[in-house]
């Protein structure tokens, strides 16, 4: 049996198991078991990625072996999560027995060794199968990242500096901030099933160089642009989108609050109508890039009746001056103020994440997205925008993982331990093979999810690939750091930056546990 046939057998069985477990949990009338629900959601994401990597492998045996290795690891993970808890999953203890031989083939050390040999020779997890146009886009942004971002990434991280204008202006000139803005409003999105693939490809290349100094610059215009496209009036689209796409107006997002993170519907920042204005008051936190931003996307409560919950929220585009540094403040005629203070973080430096305080800050009624028709639609517009953001975050994770893989490969080949290259040891080679399989699976899933988001909203796929890729990035960067030994803990080696940067990915744009329990599992059980 070929590697492709073995992979297909594993994937089909895993899909059946996930579907049966989802149906069982949907029919269960007892108290929720969050552990099983979380595990089901996580496994559904991994299985979906295995399916996409299998489809991506075509008839190429080398790629099929990579897909088989990944699928077998997913099957082993599922077996471990269900062992002793089969009744909670609604499964028979023999559910995976039919693919025992296929899983054994995928976990054969000789298979991992062959995969590792290819990865060590190229530094790549596998081919991307991009169109000529997308390959040109990828090459252009890779050159930019290597010329402009790599040389300053470590200094920005270690000294917590601002992102240099050369990076921001350079990316603006390349159209980086208008990837999902329609062409009629100055962006480059022309429609079609591959509309979001450019964003995914660009994000990976920039994140490969630096998450905080480049890869995340795409996220905020992606969120605010999507909200405006979907909910803004024609006048608002023409007023805001061209400036965003051109990079003339940089963007930040102010949604999370000190006491309300994933529970967005509970936010307390409020906006009160006063004539032709809305008056904003409240505190937001984790507002990344809020200092440099000219536009802040602010979610606020416009319905005084708190019982309205998420139906009482609206979205505003708040314009402010751009500031460098870690603290800033601006006063308004009439006494309104807005001020920000950067929060010190382990990694993800360069953009700075701020706590932002609004005190009687006035905005025009024309700055509420959708104006009167946008009242109460803020939560829904935000969630739609987050699908793009989650997809983009998955691409950020893939870029960080790809960088970690390359550094692990280079170090393993250069470093000798007990008179043998580190890359000659079986354990090293197995680690590298598994790292490559994770990168390839998450990349293939990100490409597929991009098409799903374009075609039908893709809320489930965006949540799944975000959850999977961000957790995978933690493991891949950890293993890359481990392969470096003591040097991996030293700031002079970039792999230490990759490790601390990866840690934030499963927290923002939808925390891992919330995505699993409240987005992925719920949609699985509905279907």
Q: What is the pLDDT of residue 387?
A: 84
pLDDT tens, residue order, the chain (527 aa): 899 999 999 999 999 999 999 999 999 877 789 999 999 999 999 999 999 999 988 768 889 999 999 999 999 999 999 999 999 999 998 999 999 999 999 999 999 999 999 999 999 998 899 999 999 999 999 999 999 999 999 999 999 999 999 999 999 999 999 988 999 999 988 877 788 899 999 999 999 999 999 999 998 998 999 999 999 999 999 999 999 999 999 999 999 988 765 666 678 899 999 999 999 999 999 999 999 999 999 999 998 876 666 789 999 999 999 999 999 999 998 889 999 999 999 999 999 999 999 999 999 999 999 999 999 999 888 888 888 889 999 999 999 999 999 999 999 999 999 999 999 999 999 999 999 999 999 999 999 999 999 887 789 999 999 999 999 999 999 999 999 999 999 988 999 999 999 999 999 888 899 999 999 999 999 87
Rounded (10°) CA dihedral 201, 205, 208, 211? -80
With a CB cutoff of 8 Å and minimum separation 6, the contacts of 14 are 43, 47, 50, 71, 74, 75, 78
Q: How far apart are the first and last CA of the chain?
A: 33
Active-site residue, selected from the candidate residues 159, 373, 509, 513: 509
What phi and psi values does residue 217 have, to the nearest 5 degrees? -65, -25
Round to whole Å and give the CA distance between 69 and 56: 14
Round to whole Å and give the CA distance between 356 and 218: 21
Round to whole Å and give the CA distance between 434 and 429: 9
Round to whole Å and give the CA distance between 342 and 160: 11
Round to whole Å and give the CA distance between 167 and 142: 13
- Of the three residues 217, 245, 273, the one that is the final residue of a domain is 245
Global pTM? 0.95
Whether residue 123 is contained in a domain is answered as no
Q: Are residues 324 and 414 in the same domain?
A: no
143: nearest Cα among 228, 203, 206, 97: 206
- Of the three residues 245, 264, 289, the one that is the final residue of a domain is 245
- For 510, the token pair is 């939808």
Is 159 a catalytic site residue?
Answer: no
Q: Are residues 210 and 149 in the same domain?
A: yes
Q: Are residues 403 and 333 in the same domain?
A: no
Whether residue 422 is contained in a domain is answered as yes
156: nearest Cα among 367, 347, 439, 350: 350
365: nearest Cα among 250, 235, 492, 452: 235
- For 12, the token pair is 């089909």
> Would you say 251 and 241 are in contact if contact means Cβ atoms under 8 Å apart?
no
Q: Are residues 137 and 239 in the same domain?
A: yes
Task: Give one word for 201, left, alpha or beta, with left for phi > 0 and alpha for psi -120 to 50.
Answer: alpha
Whether residue 307 is contained in a domain is answered as yes
Q: What is the pLDDT of residue 260?
A: 67
Whether residue 276 is contained in a domain is answered as yes
Q: Are residues 169 and 220 in the same domain?
A: yes
Whether residue 94 is contained in a domain is answered as yes
Q: Are residues 303 and 234 in the same domain?
A: no
Whether residue 232 is contained in a domain is answered as yes
Structural domain boundaries, residue 267:
251-377
Give the single-character DSSP code of 210: -
> Would you say 103 and 10 are in contact if contact means Cβ atoms under 8 Å apart?
yes
Round to whole Å and give the CA distance between 127 and 440: 8
Give me the CATH number covering residue 447.
1.20.140.10
Q: What is the pLDDT of residue 139?
A: 97
Q: Are residues 30 and 66 in the same domain?
A: yes
Task: Give one word for 230, left, alpha or beta, with left for phi > 0 and alpha for psi -120 to 50.
Answer: alpha
Whether residue 119 is contained in a domain is answered as no
Q: How many domains does the chain have?
A: 4
Whether residue 449 is contained in a domain is answered as yes
Give the single-character DSSP code of 161: P
Q: Are residues 417 and 358 in the same domain?
A: no
> Would you say 201 and 186 are in contact if contact means Cβ atoms under 8 Å apart?
no
Q: What is the pLDDT of residue 450?
A: 94
> Would you say 59 and 7 are in contact if contact means Cβ atoms under 8 Å apart?
no
The DSSP bridge pattern shows strands 251-254 and 277-288 to be: unpaired
Give me the CATH number covering residue 366.
2.40.110.10
Partners of 283 in the beta sheet? 357
Residue 515 burial by Cβ neighbours in a 10 Å radius (0-12, 13-18, 19+)? buried
Q: Are residues 269 and 372 in the same domain?
A: yes
Q: Are residues 298 and 413 in the same domain?
A: no
Give me the CATH number covering residue 213.
1.10.540.10
- Of the three residues 107, 142, 161, the one that is the final residue of a domain is 107
> Would you say 394 and 506 are in contact if contact means Cβ atoms under 8 Å apart?
no
Q: Are residues 373 and 255 in the same domain?
A: yes
The helix/strand count (H/E) of the chain reads as 18, 10
Q: What is the pLDDT of residue 181?
A: 92
List of E strands, 263-352: 270-274, 277-288, 295-301, 313-319, 327-331, 337-343
> Would you say 512 and 471 are in contact if contact means Cβ atoms under 8 Å apart?
yes
Q: Are residues 255 and 372 in the same domain?
A: yes
> Would you say 217 and 397 are in contact if contact means Cβ atoms under 8 Å apart?
no
Q: What is the pLDDT of residue 292?
A: 96
454: nearest Cα among 184, 140, 229: 229
68: nearest Cα among 128, 131, 126, 129: 126
């Amino acid at each position: 049996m070929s590697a492709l046939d073995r992979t297909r057998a594993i994937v089909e069985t895993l899909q059946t198991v996930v579907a049966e477990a989802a149906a069982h949990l949907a029919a269960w009338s007892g108290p929720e078991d969050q552990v099983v629900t979380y595990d089901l959601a996580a496994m559904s994401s991994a299985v979906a990625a295995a399916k996409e990597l299998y489809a991506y492998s075509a008839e190429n045996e080398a790629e099929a072996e990579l897909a088989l290795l990944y699928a077998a690891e997913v099957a082993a993970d599922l077996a471990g999560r269900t062992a002793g808890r089969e009744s909670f999953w609604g499964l028979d203890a023999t559910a995976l027995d039919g693919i025992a031989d296929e899983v054994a083939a995928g976990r054969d050390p000789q298979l991992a060794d062959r995969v590792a040999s290819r990865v060590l020779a190229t530094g790549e997890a596998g081919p991307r199968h991009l169109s000529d146009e997308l390959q040109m886009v990828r090459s252009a942004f890779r050159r930019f990242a290597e010329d402009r971002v790599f040389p300053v990434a470590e200094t920005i991280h270690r000294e917590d500096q601002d992102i240099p204008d050369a990076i921001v202006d350079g990316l603006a000139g390349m159209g980086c901030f208008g990837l999902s803005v329609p062409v009629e409003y100055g962006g480059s999105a022309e429609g079609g099933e591959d509309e979001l693939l450019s964003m995914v490809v660009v994000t990976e290349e920039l994140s490969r160089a630096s998450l905080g100094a480049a890869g995340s610059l795409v996220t905020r215009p992606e969120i605010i642009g999507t909200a405006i496209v979907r909910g803004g009036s024609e006048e608002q689209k023409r007023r805001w989108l061209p400036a965003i796409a051109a990079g003339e107006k940089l963007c930040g997002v102010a949604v999370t609050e000190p006491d309300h993170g994933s529970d967005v519907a509970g936010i307390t920042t409020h906006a009160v109508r006063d004539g032709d204005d809305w008056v904003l008051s409240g505190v937001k936190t984790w507002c990344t890039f809020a200092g440099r931003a000219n536009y802040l996307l602010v979610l606020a409560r416009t319905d005084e009746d708190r019982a309205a919950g998420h139906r009482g929220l609206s979205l505003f585009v708040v314009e402010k001056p751009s500031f460098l540094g870690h603290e800033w403040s601006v006063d308004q005629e009439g006494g309104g103020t807005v001020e920000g203070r950067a929060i010190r973080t382990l990694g993800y430096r360069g953009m700075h994440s701020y706590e932002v305080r609004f005190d009687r800050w006035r905005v025009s009624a024309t700055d509420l997205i959708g104006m009167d028709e946008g009242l109460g639609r803020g939560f829904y517009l935000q969630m739609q925008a987050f699908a793009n953001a989650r997809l983009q975050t998955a691409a950020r994770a893939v870029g960080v993982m790809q960088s970690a893989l390359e550094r692990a490969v280079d170090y393993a080949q250069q470093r000798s331990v007990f008179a043998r290259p580190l890359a000659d040891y079986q354990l090293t080679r197995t680690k590298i093979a598994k790292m490559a399989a994770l990168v390839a699976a998450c990349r293939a899933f990100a490409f597929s999810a991009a098409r799903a988001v374009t075609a039908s909203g893709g809320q489930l796929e965006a949540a799944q690939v975000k959850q999977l890729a961000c957790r995978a990035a933690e493991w891949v960067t950890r293993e890359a750091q481990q392969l470096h030994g003591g040097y991996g803990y030293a700031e002079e080696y970039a792999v230490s930056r990759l490790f601390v940067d990866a840690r934030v990915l499963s927290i923002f744009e939808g925390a891992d546990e919330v995505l699993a329990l409240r987005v992925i599992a719920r949609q699985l059980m509905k279907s």
